[in-house]
Amino acid sequence: MTDDVVISAGDPVLEVDRVSVTLSGRQILDEVSFSLSAGQFTGLIGPNGAGKTTLLRVVLGLQRTAGGLVAVRGQRRSLRRQPIGYVPQKVLLDPDMPMRARDLVALGADGERYGLRLPSRQRTEAVREMLHAVDAARFADARVGNLSGGEQQRVLIAQALISRPRLLLLDEPLANLDLRSSQEIVGLLARIAREQQIAVLLSAHEMNPLLPVLDRVVYLAGGRVASGPVGEVITTETLSRLYGHHVDVLHVRGRVLVVAGDQAGDPAARPVPLAGTD
């Protein structure tokens, strides 16, 4: 296990302590520990299959663990209501679905209630406020299925925020977005974390769109984690220890590339990208 680097940016919102998960005989997470504080924007980074989604499911209380504890605002995680907002990895929105953006956001306020909810001034104001917070007011009355990928992400973020969570989890929200949309969503989330003083944890295998605004990074590889400020985690020394073999952290034209060369020492072998690539 890699020691966590603590940043004093507010009270702890999420504490993950030595969490392990085994699925089908394979250890997915190996004593993972880190913490997030209010107002921090954190990237959960790692190659595909590293266990990022599994870790988010553990925090949400949807995945059994083989050991360890998860606490949200000092309370041990359970299936009971917790102040967590969540944007899943894949949300298919049918273009023919007769639902406006504002209607989808409103569902976030009604998620734990049964039956149809009657309109109320308080509920309407909450929807309006969240749409404004994510800069989505201009397409509030558009069908969600007709929105662009970036616009849909804004609506889904507003839906996750309307319950006023203290922790916001996002599973690969930048997948299938172009560079401009990715940068806009990342900037939006960094601002929300700061203005609303919530902890934001965003999973991604491509770290470069996140680097300009990240407060810290949780890097997963081989079931283990390294966490802390970006400059302390994304280094050749730290990631080589995490992967268990030598990797190089390269800085090319303002971008970061994490690669592994041939472990057998073949000088003709080409580097293999691990993370941080498009």
CATH classification at residue 176: 3.40.50.300
Percent of the chain with pLDDT over 90: 62
Mean pLDDT of all residues in 5-33: 83
Q: Is residue 258 part of a domain?
A: no
Q: With the CA atoms of 29, 35, 39 and 40 taken in that order, what torsion angle do they form, in degrees rounded to the nearest 10?
A: -50
User: How far is the C-alpha of 134 from the C-alpha of 163, rounded, in Å?
Assistant: 15
State the pLDDT confidence band at 278, using cuts at 50, 70 and 90. Answer: very low
Nearest to 269 by CA among 256, 257, 260: 260
pTM score, whole prediction: 0.86
Tell me which residue of 194, 171, 220, 197 sits closest to 60, measured CA to CA.
Answer: 171
Helix (H, G, I), strand (E, B) or coil at 250: strand
* pLDDT digit string, tens, across residues 128-185: 999 999 999 999 999 999 999 999 999 999 999 999 999 999 999 998 899 899 999 9
For residue 195, give its domain range. Answer: 12-229
**Under 8 Å CB-to-CB from 252, ≥6 apart: which residues?**
none
CB proximity list for 195: less than 8 A, separation 6 or greater: none
Assess if residue 32 is contained within a domain.
yes
Query: Does 275 fall in a domain?
Result: no
Does pLDDT of 268 surpass 60? Answer: no
SS3 183: helix
Question: Does a structural domain hold residue 214?
Answer: yes
Q: How many domains does the chain have?
A: 1
Residues 6+ apart with CB under 8 A from 200: 40, 41, 42, 167, 168, 170, 189, 190, 192, 193
For 236-247, give one letter per residue: b (16+ CB within 10 A) or e: eebbeebbeeeb
Question: Within a domain: residue 156?
Answer: yes
- Evaluate whether residue 259 is within a structural domain: no
For residue 255, tell me if it sits in a domain: no
Q: Looking at the domain assignment, is residue 155 inside a domain?
A: yes
